[in-house]
Structure 1
Amino acid sequence: MKYSKYLSIFFLFLSLQSCSDFLEQEPGTQTSIDELLQNKTGVLQALRGLYSSLEANVRTERYAVYADLQGGNIKFTPIATGSLRGQVSTPSNVEQVYSFDDQALTSNFKLFYDDSYDIINQANLILEYTPSLTDATDAEKNQIKAEALAIRAYTHFLLSLVYSQDYNYTADASHLGIVYSTASIKGGVQYPARKTAAETYALIINDLQTAIANYSDSSLLSGASYSFFNQKNTKALLARVYLQKGDWTNAYETANDVITNSGAVLTSKESLIAEWEKPDLPISEILLEFAIPKDNENNVAGSMSKVFGYNTDQSFEKYTASNDLINLYESSDLRKQLFLTKPLFTLVEGVQTYVNYSFTKKFQDNAGYVAFRLSEMYLIRAEAALETNRADLAMADINTIRARANASLLTNTTSLKENIFLERRKELCFEGFLFFDIARNHKNVSRTDGCLANVCSLTYPSLKYVLPIPTFNTNLNPNLQQNDSY
């Protein structure tokens, strides 16, 4: 607990103070960090804290709903109780981004931006101290390094999705990427500039390839193996990065490696619904799901059900499926059973009535954040096969997913690219993909059912496919260039 306290205090300083303030604190703070990270026990405490920070960053409301909300998979529930019962409005935490009108000065995503770079700084500290450990074997140090590198790459990748236009926005990916941090700020003030998108992805890929080469058999941390980065789910992340980049050959080979060699198997058709409905544990095909926080009495302190959950008709969360999504499923599709449909008291143009709302069953009870699962790898392999002129292989992979869902099978490769896009939307809904898939495919945003935004559609290309860098950060770093239009 002493180690956790020192770590929390240190990173609180990093989050709340400017770099110059940090340097003024450095003599006292530096001692605490040196004490914490001088041995294997302290480094593992820091690594566990790093996972906790990462889980909190992706699981909380803003990022957890962002891609599905912006893309059109989500609408809002009415207020459940009180004098405003039945009214439907945009949640304040996403009000600006939802209308494609986020403001740099008051950005809805400032916490996400700050916390992401705090996570990266934590990872860099672990990477800097681990090589000097005298009470850890080389294999143990390599395992710690691999997990920290994977987290660093993953966090940079998420930042690039939110703050940088898609990789092929320019022909040579020379447009702005993000600041890529490979050293902690412990050593002094730095004012880095943003890399290009090409440079950003090269650094992400290098971190992931280095991590893959350094993994041992298992994490040194206690807990479920699926809740930590390992070689197979780091390869899954690498496949996703290659897909986002449009590196089709490597996307195919890496996704195929995970499918063939990870030991994971697709959840069966017969158990698909039951697997998603079970409490506490992830679906069987999971590759990575971060452990949810629990208190000293083992009570859950936060989960995805805090975003998507339904308890009673007077106790439910803010986000449900739009009919834009629901209407994509065939009546026979088992995935249509993954929605809990409930009539809720709603004011419609001032008239009191009951309207059906569809809550996803993926994230009820004590659901964790699904980072990677095997279905995505089939969909990546399918898209990469199509883009490398192997349409028959692509159709076979799509039909594997469709057959598992009891959906009708494709019989020809006509419109296969659009079918792959729609299959990703249906299969991976609420797992953080849609808006980024729209941008990657240079498609337009079209939101109809339940859209309350000032802007419900967006035509690609648009400067509003990315968010503004928060003003506090651009003021602090004179080399940090703001995104255009903000």
Structure 2
Amino acid sequence: MKYSKYLSIFFLILSLQSCSDFLEQEPGTETSIDELFQNKKGVLQALTGLYYDLEGNIRPERFAVYADLQGGNLKFAPTATGSLKGQISISSNIEQVYSFEDLALTSNFKSFYDTNYKIINQANLILEYTPAITDATETEKNQIKAEALTIRAYAHFLLSLVYSQDYKYTPDASHLGIIYSTESIKSGIKYPARKTAAETYSLIIEDLKTAIDNYSDSSLLTGSATSFFSQKSTKALLARVYLQKGDWTNAYDVANDVITNSGVVLTSKESLVAEWEKPDLPISEILLEFSIRKDTEGNVSSSMAQVFGYTSDTNFQKYTASNDLINLYENTDLRKQLFLEKSLFTIVDGVQTTRNYNFTKKFQDNPGYVAFRLSEMYLIRAEAALETNRADQAMADINIIRARANASLLTSTANLKENIFLERRKELCFEGFLFFDIARMHKDVSRNDGCIATVCSMTYPSLKYVLPIPTFNTNLNPNLQQNDSY
């Protein structure tokens, strides 16, 4: 792509902290950047690349499994073929993280950290250049600004989840958040310090509110409308941020707004299983699903099936549902039908046997990354209602989700907070929530079935609920403080 040609040298620098490396690039790089961003076509090429990089950072194995694996929803399938057939092992991509032993020097998540700041830098470039282009209307420029701001906020939010303790870790959220970047590297060398968690969330919310005010009816990019951020999916992100912050009034109001005004409705009980089983297309209640990558002939190079897929007894991926999760579903629950149960050759303590494994149907064939869907909004509204003394409203929202799944309905508001946690675990499994919910609710990690980590349990609070900032980045920026214990 022309986009990649122009930016390949510039984005050898993958994070805000590597400013000095950028200065060592050949003169003329900035001219190429100026050339790319001189008109609407170039800006839209950059925005397309921004989505491409975002999808490519959150869809692959590391982040795609992180919250569910750390929280206990996932375990490993045996090796399918070859000399190690039947052996169960940990993927090298997450080996340190899985045992809560990630190292700053060799962090499993270095590429995730770096790429998020690359994405943020690209978003900042778009925001800096767009006001000056002359061949776009103000409405078009506002739409571009809205999407870039949302992606900037989303990337910072993802970083805060992984590298900063939950918002209420300290009473006033004065603990370390992340570096929040609002200027591109092109504007000059800066070595910023990390914001507090309170400051980080304020900046995320400010970006999202500004974005919401700037959206028009549709993206200027080519593709499915649900592949790009819109006003309704940005509100969904804002509701999630308010939930993570514990701002219950705003969480309720924004989630309720999405439920009431987005025009999206819950997938019906009758079509729930069939909707998840559709190849290539997202479930009908989707608010945002990032498009999968396809070549010029329409072939898929990678998708969520590369992490969770099952094709045959000799062709399947590494991640399957743990019985810790499976056993939470009632037998009548339709969501229990969203698993492919397969008996696979397994070696246990040197003995050859077969064991049953459950592959999720959510991510078979060619699925994209499910970023936001309407079910989450009901569960956010339920939790926010409970926390604002509306227990009956909370129970009603949970029962909407449970009725759709053909699960038994709650008849009492007793233990409602735990029921919300469990409903989120069942409804949103493999969509990237469990470990962050555990931290947000100040719960302990307890992984039982299939756990082969050196550490399977963790008591909250723990310094290991966050990952280390990669050493490469702390070495470059003397003001970048490392997380405690690393």
Normalising by structure 2, we get a TM-score of: 0.99
Q: How does 1:274-353 map to 2 (within 5 A)?
A: 274-353=274-353
Q: Secondary structure at the match of 2:455?
A: coil
Letter in 2 for 1:205: I
> Which residue number corresponds to residue 95 of structure 2?
95
| Matching of residue 72 in structure 1 with residue 72 in structure 2 | yes
Separation (CA, whole Å) in 1 of partners of 2:51 and 2:176: 28
> Which residue number corresponds to residue 46 of structure 1?
46
Q: Structure 2 vs 1, CA of residues 26 and 236 (structure 1 numbering), >3 Å: closer, same or farther?
A: farther
Separation (CA, whole Å) in 2 of partners of 1:249 and 1:434: 23
Does structure 2 retain, via aligned residues, the 8 Å contact 1:65–1:432? yes
Separation (CA, whole Å) in 2 of partners of 1:197 and 1:44: 33
Separation (CA, whole Å) in 2 of partners of 1:18 and 1:209: 30
Letter in 2 for 1:289: E
Separation (CA, whole Å) in 1 of partners of 2:3 and 2:357: 45
Does structure 1 retain, via aligned residues, the 8 Å contact 2:123–2:152? yes
Separation (CA, whole Å) in 1 of partners of 2:3 and 2:184: 19
> Which residue number corresponds to residue 242 of structure 1?
242
Separation (CA, whole Å) in 2 of partners of 1:17 and 1:435: 28
Alignment coverage as a number of residue pairs = 486
> Which residue number corresponds to residue 452 of structure 1?
452
Q: How does 1:364-383 map to 2 (within 5 A)?
A: 364-383=364-383
Q: How does 1:219-238 map to 2 (within 5 A)?
A: 219-238=219-238
How far the C-alpha of 1:26 sits from its partner, in A, is 5.8
Give deviations 1:165-201, integer Å, cap 9, x for gaps: 0000000000000000000001221101000000000
Separation (CA, whole Å) in 1 of partners of 2:405 and 2:371: 21
Letter in 1 for 2:69: L
Q: How does 1:121-140 map to 2 (within 5 A)?
A: 121-140=121-140
Separation (CA, whole Å) in 2 of partners of 1:243 and 1:16: 28
Q: Secondary structure at the match of 2:75?
A: strand
Separation (CA, whole Å) in 2 of partners of 1:411 and 1:13: 56
Does structure 1 retain, via aligned residues, the 8 Å contact 2:17–2:473? no
Letter in 2 for 1:191: Y
Give deviations 1:218-277, integer Å, cap 9, x for gaps: 000010000000000000000000000000000000000000000000000000000000
Q: Structure 2 vs 1, CA of residues 460 and 359 (structure 1 numbering), >3 Å: closer, same or farther?
A: same
CA RMSD of aligned residues (A): 1.1
The answer to which of 289-298 and 103-112 deviates more is 289-298
The answer to which of 3-12 and 354-363 deviates more is 3-12
How far the C-alpha of 1:25 sits from its partner, in A, is 1.8
> Which residue number corresponds to residue 142 of structure 1?
142
Give deviations 1:318-357, integer Å, cap 9, x for gaps: 1000000000000000000000010110001111011000
Q: How does 1:170-249 map to 2 (within 5 A)?
A: 170-249=170-249
Unaligned stretches of 5+ in structure 2? none
How far the C-alpha of 1:15 sits from its partner, in A, is 6.0
Q: Structure 2 vs 1, CA of residues 412 and 14 (structure 1 numbering), >3 Å: closer, same or farther?
A: closer
> Which residue number corresponds to residue 384 of structure 1?
384
Does structure 2 retain, via aligned residues, the 8 Å contact 1:255–1:381? yes
Does structure 1 retain, via aligned residues, the 8 Å contact 2:67–2:433? yes
Q: How does 1:405-424 map to 2 (within 5 A)?
A: 405-424=405-424
Q: How does 1:6-25 map to 2 (within 5 A)?
A: 6-14=6-14, 18-25=18-25
Does structure 2 retain, via aligned residues, the 8 Å contact 1:286–1:372? yes
> Which residue number corresponds to residue 166 of structure 2?
166
Separation (CA, whole Å) in 2 of partners of 1:249 and 1:18: 39
Separation (CA, whole Å) in 1 of partners of 2:363 and 2:305: 5
Letter in 1 for 2:331: S
The answer to which of 8-17 and 151-160 deviates more is 8-17
Separation (CA, whole Å) in 2 of partners of 1:328 and 1:9: 50
Give deviations 1:382-432, integer Å, cap 9, x for gaps: 000000000000000000000000000000101000000000000000000
Q: Secondary structure at the match of 2:27?
A: helix
Letter in 2 for 1:56: G
> Which residue number corresponds to residue 157 of structure 1?
157
The answer to which of 13-22 and 337-346 deviates more is 13-22
Unaligned stretches of 5+ in structure 1? none
Letter in 2 for 1:339: F
Question: Which stretches of structure 1, 4 residues or more, deviate above 6 A after TM superposition?
Answer: none
Q: Structure 2 vs 1, CA of residues 201 and 416 (structure 1 numbering), >3 Å: closer, same or farther?
A: same
Letter in 2 for 1:244: Q
Separation (CA, whole Å) in 2 of partners of 1:3 and 1:480: 31
> Which residue number corresponds to residue 59 of structure 2?
59
> Which residue number corresponds to residue 394 of structure 1?
394
Does structure 2 retain, via aligned residues, the 8 Å contact 1:23–1:188? no
Separation (CA, whole Å) in 1 of partners of 2:208 and 2:396: 29
Does structure 1 retain, via aligned residues, the 8 Å contact 2:16–2:121? no
Letter in 2 for 1:440: R
How far the C-alpha of 1:9 sits from its partner, in A, is 3.7
Give deviations 1:291-335, integer Å, cap 9, x for gaps: 111111111011000000001101100100000000000000000
| Matching of residue 434 in structure 1 with residue 434 in structure 2 | yes
Separation (CA, whole Å) in 2 of partners of 1:221 and 1:4: 17
> Which residue number corresponds to residue 260 of structure 1?
260
